[in-house]
Amino acid sequence: MNTYLTSSREETIKLGEKIAAKLKAGDMVALNGELGSGKTTFIKGLAKGLGVKKPEYVNSPSFVIIKEYRGRIPLYHFDVFRLDSPSELDTLGLEEYFYKNGICAIEWAEKIRDLLPKNHIDIKIEILENNRRRIKFSVKSKGKRKK
C-alpha cells in the first residue's frame, strides 16, 4: 500500500495527474472517502493527466451517475452515492463500462464492492486537519469478474 499526503486541492489534483500517467485502458480506480474528502478533486487530476480538455469542468455525476470524458484514453467517471442497491447498475447497463477500453473512476465504490472487477486500484481518501488529505493506494484482487 502506498500512502501520500496532500496539503491543498492543487496537490491532490497533481497526484491524480501523476497516477493517470501510469494507467492504461481497462484500468479501474475505486475511490472511497467521506463526503468532501476530495474524490472528485482527485478525478480532476486523472482527467488532466489523461489529456481531457478543460479538466477543470470535471464534476461529480451525482444525479446522472456517469459522465464520459475524452482524452488519450476515455475516462468514465461514476458516482454511485445515490444508488440504493448494486443491482441498479444492471438495470442501468453501467457495468458494461467496466470492460470498455477506457479508465473507470468510481466515487463511493464501497457501495458496489462485489461488482468491481477482480483487479482494480483502491484509493481511500481521509480528511486530516488544515485541509490536508491522506490518500492510500492499493491494488486489489478480490470481488468477482463478470464479462
Q: Where are the domains of the chain?
A: 2-141
Phi-psi region of 81 (alpha: psi -120 to 50; beta: other; left: phi over 0): alpha
Could you tell me the pLDDT band of residue 20, with boundaries at 50, 70 and 90? very high
Say how far apart CA 15 and CA 106 lie, in whole Å: 17
Q: How confident is the model at residue 60, as a pLDDT?
A: 81
CATH of domain 2-141: 3.40.50.300
Percentage, residues of the chain above pLDDT 70: 88
pLDDT at 146 over 70: no
| Residues linked to residue 143 through DSSP beta bridges, in sequence order | none
Is residue 112 within 8 A of residue 86, CB to CB? The reply is yes
Question: Model pTM?
Answer: 0.87
Residue 99 has pLDDT above 80, yes or no: no
